[in-house]
Amino acid sequence: MKVLGAVLVALIVLIQYPLWLGKGGWLRAWQLDRDLQNQKVHNQKLEGRNAALGAEVRDLKQGTEAIEERARYELGMTRADELFFQFQDSARELPEKRIESQ
């Protein structure tokens, strides 16, 4: 009777092994679920970025304000009737003058 019990326990262990540790077992399913959740979070971030880029493309296609803003900030352009003043920070000039005078 003890031999039969030991055989049954061994069979149960052999049946359970693929369920928990096999290629399609629970551990692999849990890992895939975690990977899926991480990918969903990453996809949501990318969708937000894509929406922002899409809005910017629409603005550039439809209105001149976005084009003007880009020209001003990225290219430093001004209108013909505007004056551009640029102030230099005197704190940055002081160390250079000290080096030259020494």
Question: Average of pLDDT values for 16-20?
Answer: 78
pLDDT, tens only, 20-34: 777 778 888 899 999
Alpha helices in the chain (DSSP H): 2-21, 26-62, 64-75, 90-101
pLDDT at residue number 13: 86
Query: Has residue 83 got a pLDDT over 70?
Result: yes
Query: Has residue 102 got a pLDDT over 70?
Result: no
Q: Measure the CA angle with vertex 96, ends 90 and 101; round to 5°.
A: 120
In terms of phi and psi (left: phi > 0; alpha: psi -120 to 50; beta: otherwise), the region of 76 is left
pLDDT, tens only, 27-72: 888 999 999 999 999 999 999 999 999 998 888 788 787 778 888 8
Query: Has residue 84 got a pLDDT over 80?
Result: no
Tokens of 25: 């077992």
